[in-house]
Amino acid sequence: MNMIDPSAAIRIARPSRDLIAAERFYAGGLGLRVLFRAEANGPGEHDLIMLGLPGAAWHLELVGGPNLIVEPTPTTEDLFVIYLDGPVDERLIARLVEAGGRRVEQSAYWDRWGVTVADPDGYRLVLSTRSWRNG
């Protein structure tokens, strides 16, 4: 018996050194929308921004600000993969780079099936030409 509803919302949360730079990359470059933002109001709280697409069951939450205790420590395997089910538009890659990203090589697999761009904190966004259908 599956205890998790397949339509349950998913939040991917990460620390960010610079929320303004991260917003420029994910909203201005990738085209996600700011779904929510908040500033720390007390001890133990963080500034945060939630980015996603209206109606999607997922969003990316980035926390930062002066109360941030944990520094971002991305590895080459910390991937945020978006399956485009088609070619990656070079104009999108150019926008991501202009918005503070850096195109990087990932691995033979991901380089074959998409394009990887590191965000301003060094976390990797993979735009995959493949589709993902779970049935």
Task: For residue 12, give Cα distances in angstroms to 1, 73, 92.
Answer: 25, 15, 22
Q: pLDDT value at position 64? A: 95
Residue 135 pLDDT more than 80? no
Q: What is this structure's pTM?
A: 0.92
Helix (H) or strand (E) holding 38: strand 33-38
First and final CA of the chain: distance in angstroms? 17
Q: pLDDT value at position 1? A: 65
Mind listing the pLDDT tens digit for each residue in 22-32? 999 999 999 99
Q: pLDDT value at position 69? A: 87
Enumerate helices (H) and strands (E) in the chain, giving the number of each. 3, 8
* Domain 10-68+75-128 sits in CATH 3.10.180.10: yes
> CB 84: neighbour CB atoms within 10 A?
17
More confident residue, 4 or 37: 37
Mind listing the pLDDT tens digit for each residue in 34-80? 999 999 988 888 999 999 999 999 999 999 998 888 999 999 999 99
Mind listing the pLDDT tens digit for each residue in 75-130? 999 999 999 999 999 999 999 999 999 999 999 999 999 999 999 999 999 999 99
The strand order across the sheet containing 124-128 reads 79-83, 124-128, 114-118, 102-104
